[in-house]
A and B are shown apart, each in its own frame.
Chain A
């Protein structure tokens, strides 16, 4: 009987390990494949490769649209991340700490960009910005401001989820302790609560950046002729040619995100925040 139990236990462990392995493979295989492809020497993608080379990385620098696309994407992502945190930090405090009427409704409304297809968000935003331009005469479509205004909608749900979850995890009596020691609510938020949820804030910033940087659906509506973000540049390139250049772009993007994750993880434990 004991042996029987041991056997079924071992089978269960084996099944679990198998499931983990399959999941990890599904997640990692595309990444590995992209990085691998980017080193192929042959121009037409085929397996097995004819040899390896770094020529596609060298070619990138000459592809003007990738360089300017990268610059615009990074700038927009930074602006959207900053703006998103400015909105979601106070919102998360109000939603978790205040006695806000209709909290659940507000939370759902702020999460809605996750449900609405990004293309619809992009189209709606485009119409709204055009209307805004007509009314005020200020050019916004195609500016970093216009892009950021659109992308911030995409970053808000992620950021808000992370921040509210982290805030809910803070023991309220710790904040009460600060209040009883003479700290005003603002000082309590800055000196006590914020340091405690800092990993969550960093995680929210990272998620926001990645979501904005990789977005294509909303950006497609906002670009002006001659303008491009990195994902749009990749899409356009793919319309003409399928060679390892795009794989090289993607590999660089993967390296960038991985580096960002590794560096921040040294300072704050992201595993705790997400």
Chain B
């Protein structure tokens, strides 16, 4: 176990700059999730850490070791592949034992550690099965056991849950978090599912076009996204174009609404308001950030209503409000007042990237 340091690493394939000047420090025992749309360079970053490909520039350090130019078999890194990549010609036990055999451990130690690893992923009794005789979820667990049994300094997971069905995915997600905390292993996982990232990671790294957009805890990214991309990728949001007002406390939208907000970044050109931070009242009301609106669409979601509101300025807002009893249902065309929580509205720059 060790900390992981990526210093200004880049990877260029022919003309494509797949990863562009990425720096990231993962503390010993931390669980970091790389998040971003398809093709943004997540897998490439992970493969540079594992050593399957060499960084075109920059340095990779594991603990005190500079492994930038080391081949994968000298890095002591565990890798779990999206398609599991089990050895199809070896039994479950032999798959898990593979790394220990390469390390020439004594036979008794191998047997013990394999048994412990399989117990950890709850696969006792599957030792003599072949990979093709396992379900997807079971193969996944063998892959995790195989990577963990060698006591790697860093565990890398490339979309490990994407081939599982929704129900299983939740279970394995919780299981993965439990295993990680139990083993205290420094972990980097890749996903393009923001729910998964938020629920499992200590910190998230949001990437786009090979560049880091923001690094931070799930809360920090959700509440204070560095730019429009991060705000749109993590959770839903309303984005109103405009400029900071003269008073320094408000943001004036293109339609002319002055909205008081908690934070306005330097050079902000977009106001982010999360749907759940808009309260909706029937009829007319007045107060801070209260605006008259008409309901254009109301979708019942069980515990909440998703409302599309049109303001007098013609701008639209998406609001999510708790669903009460039937008497309090919302109807299309209803005149309402939208109240925007000043503490939750943030003025952001649409295109900046601030690796923090």
Task: Name A's B-contacting residues (CB within 8 A).
Answer: 171, 173-174, 176-184, 187, 192, 195-196
Contacts and interface: CB of A to CB of B under 8 A. Distances in A.
B146 interface: yes
Among B81, B103, B146, B150, chain A packs the most CB atoms within 10 A around the CB of B81
A178 B86 CA distance: 9
Contact of A182 (B50, B73, B87): B73
B102 A177 contact: no
Given A174-B88, A182-B76, A196-B88, 20 more contacts: A173-B81, A176-B81, A177-B79, A177-B85, A177-B86, A178-B87, A179-B51, A179-B71, A179-B72, A180-B51, A180-B75, A180-B77, A180-B78, A180-B147, A181-B73, A182-B99, A182-B150, A183-B98, A184-B71, A187-B102
A166 to B, nearest CB: 14
5 contacts: A176-B50, A176-B81, A177-B87, A179-B73, A180-B75
Nearest 10 A-B pairs (CB), nearest first? A181-B99, A182-B102, A173-B85, A179-B72, A180-B79, A177-B85, A195-B89, A173-B81, A174-B85, A180-B72
B300 interface: no
Nearest to B102: A182
B102 A183 contact: yes
A181 B89 contact: no
Given A183-B73, A192-B87, A195-B89, A178 B81 contact: no
Nearest to A170: B88
Contacts of A183: 73, 98, 102
A60 B50 CA distance: 65
A176 B79 contact: yes
Nearest to A188: B73
Contacts of A181: 73, 98-99, 102, 146-147, 150
Interface string B50-88: 111000000000000000000111011111011101111
B85 A176 contact: yes
A180 B103 contact: no
Nearest to B80: A177
A176 B89 contact: no
Contacts of B82: 173
A180 B147 CA distance: 9
A183 B90 CA distance: 15
A177 B88 contact: no
B51 to A, nearest CB: 8
A42 to B, nearest CB: 55
Contacts of B75: 180
Among A182, A183, A187, A195, chain B packs the most CB atoms within 10 A around the CB of A182
A184 B146 CA distance: 17
B155 to A, nearest CB: 11
Among A177, A192, A196, chain B packs the most CB atoms within 10 A around the CB of A177
Interface in B298-331: none
A171 B99 CA distance: 19
A64 B315 CA distance: 101
Nearest to A177: B85
Nearest to B79: A180
Contacts of B51: 179-180
A182 B105 CA distance: 12
Contacts of A179: 51-52, 71-73
Contacts of A184: 71, 73
Contacts of B50: 176, 180
A177 B81 contact: yes
Nearest to B75: A180
Contacts of B71: 179, 184
Among B77, B78, B88, chain A packs the most CB atoms within 10 A around the CB of B88
Among A181, A183, A195, chain B packs the most CB atoms within 10 A around the CB of A181
Contact of B85 (A171, A182, A187): A171
B146 to A, nearest CB: 7
A34 B308 CA distance: 84
Given A176-B79, A179-B52, A182-B103, A196 B73 contact: no
Nearest to B76: A182
Contact of B98 (A171, A173, A176, A178): A178
Contacts of B89: 195-196
A26 B102 CA distance: 53
Interface string B144-157: 00110010000000
Contacts of A174: 85-88
